[in-house]
Structure 1
Amino acid sequence: MRVSLATIAQWLGCPAPEGAETLWVEGVAFDSRQVRPQDLFVAAPGEKTDGHLFVSEAASRGAVAALVARPVDAPLPQLVVSDTVSALQALASRLRQEAGFQVAAVTGSVGKTTTKSMLAALLARRFRVAQTQGSRNSQLGLPAEMCNLNQDVEWFVAEAGMSRKGELTRLGEVLRPQALLYTRIAPVHLEFFPSVEAIAEAKAELIPFLDPQGVLVLNATDPYQESFSSRFSGRKLSYGLPGKSDVWADQLASRGLLGTSFTLAGPLGGFAVDLPLPGLHQVENFLGAACLARALGVPVEELAAAAGKLRAQPHRGEVHRLPSGALLVDDSYNASPVAVARMLELLAQTPGRRVAVLGEMLELGPQAPDFHREVGAKARGLCHRLFAVGGENARVLAEAFGTEGTYVASAEEAEEVLQNELREGDVVLIKGSRGIGLDRLVAALLAGRG
């Protein structure tokens, strides 16, 4: 973007500071540590702090102005609005209209980030593509990503996340996508929802904002999406269900942690895929991405060529060889009961002594003990050894596993326990909710301390 501060003030309906006509904004940032020269710093409220406290720091890093909810004593021109988050979303929406790029939104409970990256890689075979970085899929992160796009982008692949009802409505008003892809809906964020059905309703909030001339892609194997098709009158495609979808996987041959080979079958498929990402859940993610990419005009041969070059996102199924000789599968970014079960099934297909290090699964509400008990029981038949990390629910998980299950309270304690546990020939799965911090355990083990 390159817009004068005066124009932004006009768009947001707020007073323009003196000299705004000569000040040019080239990007936005809401973390003062990430401010670049010519950025507009958004002073957003946070759970632990307030962006208004860091306006001066943003100025020192080269910010051209600040978006604030109240004037701040800082050497920086300021746009004063009633709500900085809403103003950022309005700015992103206006810039989206001005730039004219198209949006492909990806949402669901699990697999969003991986599917988003797959879709971006597939579309890039034909279009100029940008995507949300990492998991910047929130009320702040997603509009900030839109404001920072290059002007030549043709398709923006946007991961849209939520933890509460109404959040996808707000993002839908900003995105107004031409394409919408659903991964899978699962019991995530049950701390804020009474049921998985309620989560599905919240996920469906994006559908009314989909361009009537656009395309909706649904996961045909997910029962929670059965009602979604009737909510959109435009083009609808589905994936995953053999003989009844537009694409599905046939002739599957799992290679464990090394990936899966299969044939992409169906009206939009018809080619062999050698996917170097572990797990059937990655096959499902690819099916969704390939279904939408084909619908948007990417040729079959281009999809096949791109598939072999895909790699796991950081902490989402990355495979490492440890100094001890053990093979480590780093899936420590986050966890839900469905996602943990999938990775345990993958672990079971891999030769060697199978060790699972599972962090407590957070935000599961009052059903959390039951979910942890179920995961522990499932793991008992799929791996030889289990370490559960976290609070009381992790203890429940370890107890459900049985005598070979060990409970530890933190990632640091897990490192100490694992120091003498891992050996050559072991396969170690590390997975847990972000709040448990198992990425620290991964880093320690890779550094050779484990």
Structure 2
Amino acid sequence: MLMVEATQIADIVGGRLVAKGVVNTIEGVSTDTRTLADVSKAPLFVAIKGPHFDAHELLGKAVECGAKAVLIESDAAIPSDCWGIRVDSSVDALGKLAAWWRQQFSQVPVVGITGSNGKSTTKQMVVGALQSLGAILATDGNFNNLIGLPLTVFRWGAEHRAAVLEMGMSAAGEIQQLTEIANPDVGIITNVTAAHLDLLRTVDQVALAKGELFKTMRTDGTVIVNAEDPWVNKLGNAYPGRKIRYGMQDNCDIRFGHMTSNGLESLDLVFSVFGKNVELQLPVPGFHNVMNAMAATGAAVALGVPVEKALSGISSFTPMKMRMERLQLASGVQVINDCYNANPVSMAAALHTVSAAKRAGRFVAVLGSMRELGPDSSTKHKEVGRDAQVNHVDVLFTFGEHAAELAEGACSAGMSLEHVFQTEDMEMLKKKVLSVVKAGDVVLVKGSRGMKMERLIDHLKSEMGVD
């Protein structure tokens, strides 16, 4: 956990001291008054101003909850006996302080991970692959942005032997900032696809934004290159340091051999690592997870972990919630909860994975709208609808503001209209799905985070019970 003298903070972040406190050593950081008491007995509270809130109004509350220092970006009354540091930008200062703390552990390796799809699952696999090193610091949940990543870094302690940091973004320049904070030894860009197009407009721009990881990394590091993704391949080629390629191409250092699916539970994988064949059983389905596993293997190899130890860790990694999470209902219905997020490529991967698995009953897909797709959103939703038909979905439910386009795409590809139901009303969706699904069916539920598709799953669990 961060430990720093209060008088140092202003120098580290380029701010100025505006109030003097009584506790000299600050331990830990929080941006949320609700978690301050859980951080330490002497934390720093960073007041962040957003479009709908201003934490400067909570300085008194922060001190009541235990803050011994506050970092502010606008004039505010500092409670007595509390250090006050004034900066131009609280978020920028948070990053500078995190970068300083990361450098206190400069001999401890960091793996930085970004990409349009698979970041979190790959992160979990890398944590598994590195577990033989000892304690691993890793991103929790969605703490992967300009606020969350620094808060993750502040948890770093002497016990950690490596760090695995996920990097998310919504705009150009953010991955560069996160890379400067994390200073990774190993970088992974899982893939580049149509995401964040509301701001970045084109996949070319998405590639440039994701590519900031490789571009900003130290040249004595290692990049793990997805040889099946032309954008990542190009970004990897431009990196002047060491490269480890993975995929199906002849020039791959980690090369796919073959896989055997065990339904939706797991798959058996054979691939080669620098010419040596290895076997791995993954506790998750789907070829996209094969790619994630090979990327994780590459990261472990880059840090000197023996391949057999890396594979052992990956085989027992903990999958993330709401990422192809299997749920067996007492009614005999199996639900695949892939609700965490969605874009066209991840939708296609989920549909293909479920379609390829053996099942006793029908394939029912409940697809929510996808966000942040920009001006081509309508077209992208129709394409996903067509993917549903191509992947032999028997019954399709579409939900949200783009429900009509999803349904239109499926019907245009040949799906019977009587097997398609569309709505923007969650309560109606709950009732309709509940009335249609039956024992033996596999129900895939997926949509963008803002659609909160897990509400449907909670309803099915409540009405049908969990086996």
Q: TM-score, normalised by structure 1?
A: 0.95
CA contact (8 A) 2:300 2:307 kept: no
Q: Which of residues 316, 327, 345 is equivalent to 1:309?
A: 316
Q: Which residue of 1 aligns with 2:91?
A: 85
CA contact (8 A) 1:105 1:158 kept: yes
Q: Which residue of 1 aligns with 2:33?
A: 32
Q: Which of residues 246, 250, 263 is equivalent to 2:257?
A: 250
CA contact (8 A) 2:395 2:420 kept: yes
Q: Distance in 1 between matches of 2:290 and 2:13?
A: 44
Q: Which residue of 2 aligns with 1:41?
A: 45
CA contact (8 A) 1:239 1:247 kept: yes
Q: Which of residues 51, 55, 59 is equivalent to 1:51?
A: 55
1:14-47 Cα offsets, whole Å, 9 max, x none, are 3335554733222111122222342211111223
Q: Distance in 2 between matches of 1:60 and 1:333?
A: 35
Q: Distance in 2 between matches of 1:20 and 1:69?
A: 18
Q: Which residue of 2 aligns with 1:164?
A: 171
Instruction: Tell me the CA shift for residue 127 of structure 1.
Output: 3.9
Q: Which of residues 398, 411, 414 is equivalent to 2:429?
A: 414
Q: Which residue of 1 aligns with 2:414?
A: none
Instruction: Tell me the CA shift for residue 254 of structure 1.
Output: 1.5
Q: Which aligned segments of 4 or more residues in structure 1 are displaced greater than 4 angstroms?
A: 17-21
Q: 5+ residue gaps in structure 2?
A: 412-416
Instruction: Tell me the CA shift for residue 79 of structure 1.
Output: 1.5
Q: 5+ residue gaps in structure 1?
A: none
CA contact (8 A) 1:355 1:428 kept: yes
Aligned residues: 449
Alignment partner of 1:426 is 2:432 = no
Q: Which residue of 2 aligns with 1:3?
A: 4
Alignment partner of 1:322 is 2:326 = no
CA contact (8 A) 2:21 2:69 kept: no
Q: Which residue of 1 aligns with 2:396?
A: 386
Larger deviation, residues 225-234 vs 328-337 = 225-234
> Secondary structure of the equivalent of 2:17?
coil
Instruction: Tell me the CA shift for residue 268 of structure 1.
Output: 6.3
Q: Distance in 1 between matches of 2:276 and 2:341?
A: 31
1:115-170 Cα offsets, whole Å, 9 max, x none, are 01110111112243111111211111111211222233231111111111111121
The amino acid that maps onto 2:439 is E
Q: Distance in 1 between matches of 2:462 and 2:26?
A: 42
CA contact (8 A) 1:217 1:239 kept: yes
Alignment partner of 1:115 is 2:134 = no
Q: Which residue of 2 aligns with 1:12?
A: 13
Instruction: Tell me the CA shift for residue 57 of structure 1.
Output: 2.8
The amino acid that maps onto 1:219 is N
Instruction: Tell me the CA shift for residue 92 of structure 1.
Output: 0.6
Q: Distance in 2 between matches of 1:288 and 1:12?
A: 35
> Secondary structure of the equivalent of 1:33?
coil
Alignment partner of 1:281 is 2:296 = no
> Secondary structure of the equivalent of 1:420?
helix
The amino acid that maps onto 1:12 is V
Q: Which of residues 434, 437, 442 is equivalent to 2:457?
A: 442
Q: Which of residues 304, 314, 318 is equivalent to 1:297?
A: 304
Q: Which of residues 149, 171, 175 is equivalent to 2:182?
A: 175
Q: Which residue of 2 aligns with 1:186?
A: 193
Q: TM-score, normalised by structure 2?
A: 0.92
CA contact (8 A) 2:129 2:312 kept: no
CA contact (8 A) 2:263 2:285 kept: yes
What is the identity percentage for the equivalent residue pairs of Structure 1 and Structure 2?
A: 33
CA contact (8 A) 1:410 1:436 kept: no
> Secondary structure of the equivalent of 2:301?
helix
> Secondary structure of the equivalent of 2:104?
helix
